[in-house]
Amino acid sequence: LPAKDAGVDVWFLMLVPVDGEAEQGVFWGWGQDSGCHQSTARLFRSLSGCDSGFGQATARHLDIMGFRVFASVLDLQSPGAQELRRSCSPRLTLLQMDLTKPDDIQRVLQHIQAHTNSTGLWGLVNNAGFNDTIADAELSPLCKFRACMEVNFFGSLELTKGLLPLLRSAGGRIVTVSSPAGDMPFPCLAAYGTSKAALSLLMDTFRSELQPWGIKVSLILPGYYKTGRRVGVCSLPKQQLLASLPQELLQAYGEDYVEEINQQFIQFMKVAVEDLSAVVNSITDGLLAANPAVRYYPGQGLGIMYFIHRYLPYFVRDLFLKGFFINPKLPRALHTSPQAFAQPKHHPPALWGNNQH
């Protein structure tokens, strides 16, 4: 659920711009409030993260609906990019983009501007997602926090700001795939969760500020889905994490602690949902509905999860997330000598006004 769209699966959900232009004619959309509505227009869609997972499935779906789509991928020769070339019509254009490289983003922005300047851009789908560290926040290197922020937050921010002039001229839509991990403290997902929390707040701010321009902004918060990452890929980041830990920290937690986290995450990934249609339908609704929802929650179990998070005591929330996601054994230092850490070594400092003389 954490990275539902990402967990660590996120590697394959790099932000990609997709620019979709519908044929001059009629399209149909379904909104939560308005039901079915009809409209005629030339529509352009910009999608991100199309190498695999949600981005690839959405790009294919919009192409089938008749839109012209500009889909950005990390590698133009990747299996996902080749599959899009094979299965989609000439309306779909693939663009290479690495969200950590400003030059790539600027090149993509220039391409989209050149092809939509006279009509504007109807929709941008931010599908950025990156995470390769499953570990306690204390064990996660700072560079991993920065990497998640660079892709999941700053890349999406730069791309969105760059396309806003085109979106304003069309009164278009911004749909962003975030994660429940940005709303809840999932164990061992601090780097990913904090970047998604920043992304969600940013998009909510855009939603409020862009209302006068007629731009509607929606967030997608999916359950846990299989988006392309193979389970066996987790072993390399784990080994890199162990090699990077200071000896004192490694002794306090133990290699077994890190290994168990890794194994629990692998088991969690095995039960992820393969059918991405609920997420694709939510993204499509955010783009086409007359009154799109501010937040979409595609996936089973999210209702009870958010209920527990919002209304039940903290200890219940923590127990639920550990039971649902990752609940490792005690770190080595606590396992071997728990009494040494059972009580604080010092009392909190007394308030100034309570000092006795």
* Residue type for position 27: F
| 289-321 as b/e: b if 16+ CB within 10 A | bbebbebbbbbeebeebbebbeeeeeeebeebb
Neighbouring-strand partners of residue 301:
none
DSSP state letters, 72-112: EES-TTSHHHHHHHHHS-TTEEEEE--TT-HHHHHHHHHHH
Radius of gyration for the alpha carbons in the chain, expressed in angstroms and rounded? 22
**Residue 82 tokens, joined:** 């080749």
Active site residue 224: no
| 130-154 as b/e: b if 16+ CB within 10 A | bbbbbbbeebbeeebbebbbbbbbb
| Terminal-residue alpha carbon distance, the chain | 55
* Cα dihedral 222, 130, 255, 252 in deg (nearest 10): -90
Helical residues (DSSP H) of the chain, grouped into ranges: 53-64, 79-87, 102-116, 142-148, 156-170, 190-209, 235-244, 247-253, 255-270, 277-288, 302-311, 314-324, 332-336
Catalytic residue of the set 192, 253, 296, 297: 192
Query: Which residues are CB-contacts of 206 (< 8 A; sequence separation ≥ 6)?
Result: 160, 174, 215, 217
Q: Is-contact 299 222, C-beta < 8 A? A: yes
Q: Which residue has the tokens 């570990």?
A: 135
Across the beta sheet with 68-73, the strand order is 92-96, 68-73, 44-48, 123-126, 173-177, 216-220, 295-296
> Which residues are catalytically annotated?
192
